[in-house]
Structure formats: structure tokens, C-alpha cells
Amino acid sequence: MKRNRRVTRRMSVMATGSMYIGAVMLTLFVMVIVNHLAASSCTQLKKTIGDRRRELDALENERLREQARWDGMTTPQRLDAALLRHGMKMRDPDPARQIVRLSRATGQPIRCQASVEIARARAASVTSQTARYDGGRGAIRR
Amino acid sequence: MAMRGENFRFWLPVVLLSAFALYSAQKLVRTHLSSKVAAPNYMFTRRLPARRGTIYDGGATPVPLAKSVPFWEYRLDPVALTNRVVKPRGKPRRTPEEIQATIADALHIDRGRIAAMCRNTSKRYQFLAMSSDPDAHAVIADSRQVAGVAIEDRQVRQYLHDRCLSHVVGSVNAAGEPSAGIELKFNAELTGVPGLVRGKKNAIGSELYDKRIEEVAPIPGSDVYLTVDNALQYDVETLLARGVREFGAGSGWCVVLDAKTAAVLAMASLPDFHPLSYGRASDAEKINRTVNFTYEPGSVMKVITAATALDMGIVKPDTLYDTRRNDERYHKLPGDGSHVWEPRMTVADAIVHSSNIVIGKLGCDIGPARLWNSMRAFGFGQRTGVELPGEESGILRDWRRWDVLTWSRAPIGQGVSVTALQIACAYQAIANDGRRMKPHIVERIVAADGTESYRHVPKVAATPVSKGTARTMREIMLGVASPAGTARRAAIKGYSVSGKTGTAQKVVNGRYADGLYRATFCGIVPSGVVKLRPEDEEPVPPRIVVLVTLDFDSRAKYHQGGNSAAPVFRLVAMAALRRLEVEPDRPDELVDDFGDGELDAILDERARRRPLER
């Protein structure tokens, strides 16, 4: 019994040591595998992000180039030149016919507003009279 | 044996762990501390240039004036073009001549030029072209079509409006060095912070994009927004060029200021330069004559003298002065010419008719110390502080160093030198009820992330005269652009104009040159003294201050401010009023244009209808 007990005790020490080593080795192995998997995943993500970023940069550059081209085409000089090329010449309205905002409008008419009324009257002289013509009697209702 | 087995079981994990720790440590050192170790040949570090900020105008919808655009730079390597195998799928190998033809067609270059470059094999990477055409780039970058062309990404500064506003915007050369204008003044803000890339490359030196170790993105430069309206600037430059040409002037300049805030709405100086060829421009073209050039202002200074005298209570507008040179102080004072014939003249008339003698006497009555102080308060003899490089301060000598002649000369604009912007700012003070604002041309600066790093806050620089004096001066100056004044050609239909002419003799070799003049007109529109309706409490406020100067290098028929600068002023002011949608303060003058009784009929109709509408 004594011998058996001793053997049992020695076996127990060996089993504990092996389990300890095995656990450490397994942990290390798992850590290495996880590390590699994570690194691989990170590398893939990094590559994807890099590709997308380069794509974004290329598109942004393309946008900047197109924007600059458009800005260059729509400068006053280029527009004037383009109009002249097509035999057109634009001019600003006479001061009398330009409509401007009144900073302190009171609702009361002032003399300069007469120019606006002239324009309105001219525009209305055809359409309104046609619309209100009441046939036969030859009268225009006001 | 038992002892040996136990030792083995103890040391095995220790050895394994140590090996793993060493391996990890080595990895750590390589990865994170490699900057302290010499970089191997397959590593590279590259700076990423930051995009330079854009300069915008101050219109309702900001328009870019200077902008950095990504371009591709192509360089030809004749050796690689000849030796490298280029074979499209399913087709025979391309000959060097075919490749040259493809390059020439894509980049619109003469084939002969490329052939000549290819013959010069001793010179590799010869400059071929710069292009922003994506179609051309697709052809050149296709390795199955083309070989021997190195491609580099570049940022090219584009000046979309060519010569327009060139003095204000300035220039940047191919190396990114600024030369003038806003480009120079705000270079630090526009430049941005460059980025960095560190990574690995393959055997032939190409970057391995998935092996980048470190990547720091560049921070683009800030955008600068000006106060200048691009459309108005174009009008002003066109009209000024026309004026310079028609009146035979050698050069001319013009400033349009906001009467309330002193914001620069337009600034033109002729001759000018193209920003892309700044290096080849002459000195005469490079100089911005509105801020970098000083000259004797002539009679436009009389307004300052009269305002000072009125503000100090020395005279009233109707105070009479003798128009004779009856004192030694007025000896050799320039005469008044044929336009002044009265033996006695009021101060107001002296401004309207531009009398040298009366204003000279007025200056003597003020006294040099008080006049000098007032001129300083109006901003002469010091920089205005506008955000442009190389601004001149002008010359206004201390009054203690004035001789007796200067007492009567400085009041009429002789013996002092000023910049055009200083004159415009002095008139802005009169337009703004006596408050001289600090002029500005930069409204705000916006960083790449959208945050505003600077925004202009209006600032009163000085108050040289009271509100009442400023209004009185504007009333007096109304007469200048009237049929009786020296600048009836400055009158604008529908708007009242307060202004003053100036015809200054040019100084050549220390003496006044005979027949060479600088003609100036500076005006305020609307004048700020005319009410729109009789029942209004306040008149229509002034909106703009315009200064126009024509510089005659040779004798010209129309060299006076009233008959050369004034008509140009009128056109420029009309363009500005139209662009800024300024309401007319004399609408009756516009309404009269309709004539033929139509207006009366409309007004009668309106009068008849009004009671019913109520």
C-alpha cells in the first residue's frame, strides 16, 4: 500500500506538469494563430481602405479639374468672347429700366416707380384687353 | 533520471517563452523603432504636397480667382521607350515609332518633336507636357500601349480670369514661390501643411501600396475670400482701359470703395500683367499704382483743406475770399486759369471752381500745425493697413519742416505725396459722416475643415471731421459735377454726385514738367444729401467712393481731371451702381427719359385710381 501510494503521488506530479506545459503551449499557439488572423484581416482592411482612399483622391482630383474647367469657361471675359463668336452682344439695361431694391420702401409710390408702371402697362395692354373683351358691344371693361 | 525529467519539464516552457519574447521584441524593434535604424533600400519616404488654398472674390456667389488644380506632368525616357517591350493582348509588339505616334496624338504634340527627343538618348526624363485631360492620361498610363513616359502628380496654379485683378491676386511660380498680391501676403495661410508617406517599394522602384507603413494626409491650405466683386472688377478694368486708350494716357488706376465700410469693391491698375508670366513682366506692369505708388494729388486735396477749415469753425461755406495774390505767401501760387474770374469768391465756390488762390489762403488761415494734424487724421503720410504687400505710406513732412511756400502749397495738393487708396479713404471719411474706416480687401479666411480663422471686423481708423461738416462738404462738392463745376462730365443721370477734380503737374528731375499731368477725379455716389421723398428724414446714404487717375506721359489734349478722369469716373460709377443695385436718389432724371407724355398719362391714371384703392 505504501508503494502504491508513492507511485500514485509521483504520477500526480507528472500529470500536473504536463497539463501546465500543455496549457501554456496551447495558449501560445492560440495567441499566435489569433495574432496572425487579426494581422491578416488588418492587412486586408488596410489594403481596402488604401484602395478606396486612392479612388476618392482620384475622383476629388477629377472634380477639381472639371470645376476649374467650368470656372474658366464662365468668366466674364470668356462669356463675352463666346457671345461675340455667335454674333451676339449683350448690354445692360438703361438706368431708367433697371429695377432696383429700395432700402426703405414704404409702400407709397415714388416717381421712379412710374417706369415700372409703364412697363406693366405696356405688358398688360395686349393680354388684359384681349381677355376682357366682351364681344359684340365693342367695349373694354376696366 | 527523475531529476533530469523534472528539469526538462521546468526549463522547456522557460526556453519557449524566452524564444517567443525575443522574437516579439525583435518584431517590435523592427516595426516601431526602425527610424533609429538605417532604412533598408526597399524603404522610401515621400512628402505629399498640400493643395494650395483658393482665392475667391466677394460676390454673392463666390467665384474662384486663383485655384490649384491637379495636373499630370509627363517626362519622356527615350531609353525605356526604345527598349521596353510593349505588346497589346493578341497583337504584335509595338514599334517605338508607333508608341511615339500614340503619345503625340494623346498629348497633341508634334510627332517630329517627340522623335527628336527620342534621338537624344543621353538625356533621360525630358519634359514632355503638363495635362489635366483624363482621356489623354488613360492612354499614356496604359502600359500595353505606351512605355517610356514617367508620370508625376503636380498641382498647377490656375488664374482663371487671366489679367483681371492680377495686381491684387498676385502670382505663384512653378516652384510654389509667391511673388505679389494676396498670394504673397497670405502665403502662410494658403500653403497648408504637407503630408508624408513611408512604405516599401519593389525591385524596379515602384511603390507597393499595400506595404505602406505610415501615411499622414496633407492639410490643404485655407481659402481666402476677398471683398472685390469679380464682375464689377471686369467692368472697371474694361472701362479704365478704354479711358486710358481714348485719352492717350500712359497709365491709369481706379479704386472703388464701399462708402460705409471702406471695403475695396474694385481695384485696377494699368498696365497690368498676366499672373502666369509675372517673371517676364516689366516693372511698370508689376507695380500696383493704387497702393505701391505715390504722387502729388493736386486739387483733390482741396476738399481736405476746406473740410478742416469748416470743422474748426474758421470759415463758413459762404465766407468770401479775395482771389488776388495779394500776399508774399501766395507768390508763384498756381493761377486759377480761365475758369475763375470773380474778384471775390466763397469757400464753396472755391471748391466748385477749384480755386488755388482761395484754398491756398484758406490753408494759411488754418495754419500748418492744424492742417498737418487734420491731414494725418484723414490718413495721409501713413499706411492705410489694407491687406496688400508693399503699401506705400506717402510723404507728409512734419509741419515744423514746412517752409512758407508749403503753407499755401500743401492745401492745394502740392508738396505732399499720397497713394490713390489714401485719397479714396479720405473721401470715404467724408462719405461716412466723418468716420474714416480701415480699408480692407480680405473679408474672411476659411480653413480646409470649414472653420473661419479670420473675419474682418469694421474698424474706425479716425474721425477727422464731424457729421455736420462731412454733410456740408458733400453738399458743396455736389456743385463740382454740376453744369457750373469743373466736372460736369462726371454727372450721372438719376444719381447725385459729390466729387472733386485734380490736375497735378508731374515732377520730372525735381521740377514740374511742362505739359505732363496726372488727372484725377474722386467722387461719392449717391452724394448723401438728396432725399428721395420730401417727407423723408434722412437722405439716401452714400454707397460708393470711386477714384480714377489717368497718368499722361506726353502732352494730351484732354489732360484735366474734369475732361478726362471725370468721364471715366462716370462710366465706372454707373457700372458699380448697376452691379450693386443702388437706388437712384434723383429718379426724376430717369423718368424724364420716357418723354412723349406717356409718363404723365401713367401718373394721371395712378392719381385717379388711388382713392378707389383705399
pLDDT (tens digit, 9 = 90+) per residue, B244-280?
Answer: 999 999 999 999 999 999 999 999 999 999 999 999 9
Residues A100 and A70 in one domain: no
Task: State yes or no: pLDDT of B511 exceeds 50.
Answer: yes
- Residue A28's pLDDT band, with cuts at 50, 70 and 90, is confident
Name the phi and psi angles at B462, rounded to 5: -165, 165
Question: What is the predicted pLDDT for the residue at B263?
Answer: 96
Tell me the residues of chain B between 296 and 355 that have a Cβ less than 8 Å away from chain A. Answer: none
Pair B445, B431: CB distance under 8 Å: no
**For residue A69, which residues of chain B lie inside 8 Å, CB to CB?**
132
Question: What is the predicted pLDDT for the residue at B596?
Answer: 47
Contact A96 B533 (CB under 8 A): no
Establish if B511 belongs to a structural domain.
Answer: yes
Tell me the residues of chain A between 31 and 70 that have a Cβ less than 8 Å away from chain B. Answer: 43, 46-47, 50-51, 54, 61-62, 64-65, 68-69
Pair B571, B243: CB distance under 8 Å: yes
- Residue A142's pLDDT band, with cuts at 50, 70 and 90, is very low
Task: State yes or no: pLDDT of B64 exceeds 50.
Answer: yes
For residue B528, what are the contacts with CB-CB under 8 A and spacing of at least 6?
B259, B431, B471, B474, B498, B539, B540, B541, B542
- Residue A80's pLDDT band, with cuts at 50, 70 and 90, is confident
Question: What is the predicted pLDDT for the residue at B457?
Answer: 95
Distance CA B380, CA B396 (A): 7
**For residue A48, which residues of chain B lie inside 8 Å, CB to CB?**
none
Let me know the angle formed at the C-alpha of B12 by B8 and B14, rounded to the nearest 5 degrees: 125
Contact of A120 with chain B, judged by CB distance below 8 Å, is answered with no
Residues B291 and B361 in one domain: yes
Pair B198, B214: CB distance under 8 Å: yes
What's the whole-number mean pLDDT along residues B2-16? 69
Distance CA B94, CA A15 (A): 74
Which CATH number belongs to the domain containing residue B523 in this structure? 3.40.710.10
Establish if B604 belongs to a structural domain.
Answer: no
**For residue B605, which residues of chain A lie inside 8 Å, CB to CB?**
121
Distance CA B43, CA A112 (A): 76
Residues B265 and B339 in one domain: yes
Contact B16 A95 (CB under 8 A): no
- Residue B84's pLDDT band, with cuts at 50, 70 and 90, is confident
Pair B336, B307: CB distance under 8 Å: no
Among the ranges given (A87-91, B313-317, B499-503), the one the predictor scored with the smallest mean pLDDT: A87-91
Contact A96 B209 (CB under 8 A): no
What's the whole-number mean pLDDT along residues B576-605? 68
Contact of B155 with chain A, judged by CB distance below 8 Å, is answered with no
Establish if A53 belongs to a structural domain.
Answer: yes
Q: How far is A19 from chain B (nearest CA, A)?
A: 11
Residues A106 and A69 in one domain: no
Residues B287 and B196 in one domain: no
Q: From A96, A86, A136, A93, select the one nearest A117 (Cα to Cα).
A: A96
Residues B567 and B458 in one domain: yes
Cβ count within 10 A of residue A22: 11
**Interface residue of B10, B242, B543, B583 to substitute, partner A, most A CBs within 10 Å:** B583
Residues A109 and A67 in one domain: no
Establish if A69 belongs to a structural domain.
Answer: yes
Question: What is the predicted pLDDT for the residue at A97?
Answer: 67
Among the ranges given (B204-218, B263-277, B597-611), the one the predictor scored with the smallest mean pLDDT: B597-611
- Residue B604's pLDDT band, with cuts at 50, 70 and 90, is low
Establish if A86 belongs to a structural domain.
Answer: no
**For residue B581, which residues of chain A lie inside 8 Å, CB to CB?**
98, 100-101
Residues B117 and B250 in one domain: no
Whether cis (ω within 30° of 0) applies to the bond prior to B78 is no
Among the ranges given (A44-58, A82-96, B206-220, B507-521), the one the predictor scored with the smallest mean pLDDT: A82-96
Q: How far is A130 from chain B (nearest CA, A)?
A: 20
> What DSSP element (H or E) covers B74?
strand B64-76
Question: What is the predicted pLDDT for the residue at B207?
Answer: 76
Residues A72 and A97 in one domain: no
Pair B66, B159: CB distance under 8 Å: yes
Residues A66 and A108 in one domain: no
Question: What is the predicted pLDDT for the residue at A132?
Answer: 45
Residues B159 and B308 in one domain: no
Average pLDDT, chain B: 87
- Residue B230's pLDDT band, with cuts at 50, 70 and 90, is very high
Pair B515, B506: CB distance under 8 Å: no
> What DSSP element (H or E) covers B55?
strand B55-56
Q: Which domain holds residue B146?
A: 46-226
Helix, strand or coil, per DSSP, at residue A7: helix
Average pLDDT, chain A: 72
β-pair type (B452-455, B436-437): unpaired
Q: How far is B537 from chain A (nearest CA, A)?
A: 11
Residues A6 and A72 in one domain: yes
Pair B592, B497: CB distance under 8 Å: no
**Residue B373 grid coordinates:** 494734424
Name the phi and psi angles at B10, rounded to 5: -80, -45
Per-residue burial over B382-395, b if 16 or more Cβ lie within 10 Å, else e, is eebebbbbebbbbe
Establish if B8 belongs to a structural domain.
Answer: no
Question: What is the predicted pLDDT for the residue at A84?
Answer: 84
Distance CA B51, CA B192 (A): 7
A131: amino acid identity, one letter: A
Question: What is the predicted pLDDT for the residue at B167?
Answer: 95
Query: What are the pLDDT digits (tens) for B416-470?
Result: 999 999 999 999 999 999 999 999 999 999 999 999 999 999 999 999 999 999 9
Establish if B9 belongs to a structural domain.
Answer: no
Secondary structure string (H, E, C) spanning B84-150:
CCCCCCCCCCCCHHHHHHHHHHHHCCCHHHHHHHHHCCCCCCEEEEEECCHHHHHHHCCCCCCCCEE
Contact B17 A46 (CB under 8 A): no
Measured distance between the N- and C-terminal CA atoms of chain A, rounded to whole angstroms: 134
Residues B312 and B404 in one domain: yes
Question: What is the predicted pLDDT for the residue at B283?
Answer: 92
Last residue of a domain, one of B197, B226, B255: B226
Contact of B173 with chain A, judged by CB distance below 8 Å, is answered with no
Helix, strand or coil, per DSSP, at residue A69: helix
Length of chain A: 142
Distances (CA, A) of B509 to B412, B506, B512: 21, 10, 8
Classify the C-alpha dihedral B34-B39-B40-B44 as positive or negative.
positive
Query: What are the pLDDT digits (tens) for B472-488?
Result: 999 999 999 998 888 99
Establish if A84 belongs to a structural domain.
Answer: no
**Residue A53 grid coordinates:** 482612399
Q: How far is A45 from chain B (nearest CA, A)?
A: 10
Residues B203 and B125 in one domain: yes
**For residue B590, which residues of chain A lie inside 8 Å, CB to CB?**
95-96, 112, 115
Distance CA A40, CA B329 (A): 95
Please name the member of B160, B591, B606 whose beta carbon is closest to the beta carbon of A72. B160
Contact B583 A64 (CB under 8 A): no
Establish if B41 belongs to a structural domain.
Answer: no
Question: What is the predicted pLDDT for the residue at A16?
Answer: 74
Task: State yes or no: pLDDT of B305 exceeds 70.
Answer: yes
Question: What is the predicted pLDDT for the residue at B432?
Answer: 96
Establish if A85 belongs to a structural domain.
Answer: no
For residue B520, what are the contacts with CB-CB under 8 A and spacing of at least 6?
B297, B298, B300, B423, B501, B502, B503, B504, B547, B548, B549, B550, B561, B565
Residues A16 and A67 in one domain: yes
Residues B436 and B512 in one domain: yes
Residues B292 and B212 in one domain: no
Maximal CA-CA distance, chain B: 139
Question: What is the predicted pLDDT for the residue at A9?
Answer: 53
Residues A73 and A97 in one domain: no
Distance CA B304, CA B199 (A): 68
For residue B391, what are the contacts with CB-CB under 8 A and spacing of at least 6?
B291, B292, B383, B384, B385, B419, B421
Residues A22 and A62 in one domain: yes
Residues A9 and A64 in one domain: yes
Residues B360 and B505 in one domain: yes
What's the whole-number mean pLDDT along residues B292-310? 95
Q: From B347, B355, B302, select the one nearest B325 (Cα to Cα).
A: B355
Establish if A133 belongs to a structural domain.
Answer: yes
Question: What is the predicted pLDDT for the residue at B595?
Answer: 46
Tell me the residues of chain A between 69 and 98 that have a Cβ less than 8 Å away from chain B. Answer: 69, 71-72, 75-77, 92, 94-96, 98
Distance CA B293, CA B575 (A): 26
Contact of B17 with chain A, judged by CB distance below 8 Å, is answered with yes
**Interface residue of A26, A28, A61 to substitute, partner B, most B CBs within 10 Å:** A61
Question: What is the predicted pLDDT for the residue at B322?
Answer: 85
Contact B533 A21 (CB under 8 A): no
Residue B452 per-residue DSSP state: E
Q: How far is B453 from chain A (nearest CA, A)?
A: 23
Higher pLDDT, B601 or B303: B303
Residue B497 per-residue DSSP state: -
Pair B528, B476: CB distance under 8 Å: no
Distance CA A38, CA A67 (A): 42
Residue B50 per-residue DSSP state: P
Contact of B242 with chain A, judged by CB distance below 8 Å, is answered with no
Task: Report how far Cα A138 is from the mean position of its chain's Cα atoms.
Answer: 61
Highest mean pLDDT pick, A84-98, B52-66, B316-330, B421-435: B421-435
Task: Report how far Cα B262 is from the mean position of its chain's Cα atoms.
Answer: 14
Please name the member of B9, B210, B577 whose beta carbon is closest to the beta carbon of A50. B210
Establish if B23 belongs to a structural domain.
Answer: no
Q: Which domain holds residue A6?
A: 2-77
Q: How far is B231 from chain A (nearest CA, A)?
A: 7
Length of chain B: 614
Residues B193 and B60 in one domain: yes
The structural domain count of chain A equals 2
Q: Which residue has the cell 488588418?
A: A42
Q: Which residue has the cell 499755401?
A: B408
Residues A58 and A106 in one domain: no
**For residue B598, which residues of chain A lie inside 8 Å, CB to CB?**
118
Pair B532, B540: CB distance under 8 Å: yes
- Residue B611's pLDDT band, with cuts at 50, 70 and 90, is very low
Contact of B213 with chain A, judged by CB distance below 8 Å, is answered with no
Cβ count within 10 A of residue B49: 15
Q: How far is A134 from chain B (nearest CA, A)?
A: 23
For residue B490, what are the contacts with CB-CB under 8 A and spacing of at least 6?
B480, B481, B497, B499, B521, B523, B562, B566, B567, B569, B570, B573
Distance CA B330, CA B409 (A): 9
Among the ranges given (A75-79, B23-27, B42-46, B213-217), the one the predictor scored with the smallest mean pLDDT: B23-27
**Residue B397 grid coordinates:** 513732412
Distance CA B531, CA A40 (A): 80
Which CATH number belongs to the domain containing residue B111 in this structure? 3.90.1310.10
Establish if B28 belongs to a structural domain.
Answer: no
Pair B295, B520: CB distance under 8 Å: no
Residues A24 and A60 in one domain: yes
Establish if B138 belongs to a structural domain.
Answer: yes
Distance CA B611, CA B614 (A): 5
Classify the C-alpha dihedral B597-B598-B601-B602 as positive or negative.
negative
- Residue A46's pLDDT band, with cuts at 50, 70 and 90, is confident
Contact of B22 with chain A, judged by CB distance below 8 Å, is answered with no
Question: What is the predicted pLDDT for the residue at B583?
Answer: 82
Question: What is the predicted pLDDT for the residue at B394?
Answer: 94
Pair B567, B490: CB distance under 8 Å: yes
Q: From B150, B166, B154, select the one nearest B69 (Cα to Cα).
A: B154
Please name the member of A28, A54, A95 whose beta carbon is closest to the beta carbon of B493. A95
Helix, strand or coil, per DSSP, at residue B342: coil
Contact of B28 with chain A, judged by CB distance below 8 Å, is answered with no
Contact of B531 with chain A, judged by CB distance below 8 Å, is answered with no
Distance CA A65, CA B153 (A): 13
Task: State yes or no: pLDDT of B356 exceeds 60.
Answer: yes
Contact A110 B588 (CB under 8 A): no
**Residue A84 grid coordinates:** 461675340
Last residue of a domain, one of A52, A77, A102: A77
The CA R_g of chain A, rounded to the nearest whole Å, is 45
The structural domain count of chain B equals 2
